[in-house]
Amino acid sequence: MLTEYFPVLLFLVVTAIVGIALIVIGNLLGPKRPQAQKYTPYECGFEAFEDARMRFDVRYYLIAILFIIFDLEIAFVFPWATVFSKLGLLGLIEMGMFLALLVLGFVYVWKKGALEWE
């Protein structure tokens, strides 16, 4: 039973060794030129000038959620593409309906102005 898991264990050990070796080599051979600007906080493309608990615009969250929704559709398209030859015409029609609903939702969001940013 242990011999079945040996390749997985070997893979994990080799991966850990390579990962640790790359970090150590990078720290030993990499340039060491610290600058004050390198250690300043950076967030969202602008300087941090207020408290960390400041309110964000709702549009930021809306854009983030829309990105997740439209990005997750890829999680459905890739498996479908791998078994497309087995699904035939019915699979093509179902995916067409799925993508049509997705495009319809995108057009709705676009027309509502949720993608506008001043």
> Which domains can be identified in the chain, with CATH numbers?
56-118 (1.20.58.1610)
Q: Quick one: pLDDT band at residue 29, thresholds 50, 70, 90?
A: very high
What per-residue string of b and e applies to 60-85 under the rule 16 or more CB within 10 Å gives b?
Answer: eeeeeebeeeeeeeeeeeeeeeeeee
| SS3 state at 46 | strand
Which pTM was predicted? 0.48
pLDDT confidence of residue 112: 85
CB 80 within 8 A of CB 91: yes
Q: Quick one: pLDDT band at residue 13, thresholds 50, 70, 90?
A: very high
Q: Ranked by mean pLDDT, which of 16-20, 107-111, 114-118 comes out on top? A: 16-20
pLDDT confidence of residue 51: 66
pLDDT confidence of residue 46: 59
